[in-house]
Amino acid sequence: RPPRARQILAAVRASGGTFLTVTDDQIRAAQRDLAARGLYVEPTGTACWAATLATPRPGATVVPLCGAGAKTGPAT
What confidence tens digit (pLDDT) does each residue in 9-41 have?
999 999 998 889 999 999 999 999 999 999 888
Residue 43 lies in a domain: yes
For the whole prediction, is pTM greater than 0.85?
no
Query: Contact, 71 vs 42, CB < 8 A?
Result: yes
Whether 66 is covered by a domain: the verdict is no
Q: Let me know: does 41 contact 31? Beta carbons within 8 Å.
A: yes
pLDDT at residue 72 is higher than 70: no
Indicate if the pLDDT at residue 69 is higher than 60: no
Residue 25 falls inside a structural domain: yes
The total number of structural domains in the chain stands at 1
Domain-embedded: residue 11: no
C-alpha closest to that of 43 among 67, 19, 61: 67
